[in-house]
Amino acid sequence: MATNGINVGHELGHRKSIIARTCSKILYLPSQYMHFYIEHNFGHHINVATPEDPATARYKQTLYSFW
């Protein structure tokens, strides 16, 4: 449930509807990952592919050191 909830919650978090965004947060609840909605939409989407984006690897950074 939690794994599927993260995938569906991610997509619902991009919607404009308050109901969809609330459902997104509820789906993150079982995995205790509710902060993802804030970080993803207001951090990653604004800073994508910049040094400020924690979800983007640095130039020449190995997969091992990134994860």
pLDDT at 7: 86
The total number of structural domains in the chain stands at 1
Q: CA dihedral in degrees (23, 14, 37, 55; nearest 10)? A: 150
Question: What range does the domain containing 38 cover?
Answer: 2-66
Position 62 confidence tier, pLDDT thresholds 50, 70, 90: very high
Quick: pLDDT tens for 13-47.
Answer: 889 999 999 998 898 888 888 778 788 878 788 88
pLDDT for 2: 64
Q: pTM of the entire structure?
A: 0.65
What pLDDT does residue 53 have? 82
Residues 38/10, Cβ–Cβ less than 8 Å: no
Instruction: Give the model's pLDDT for residue 33.
Output: 80
Q: Which amino acid is at 7?
A: N
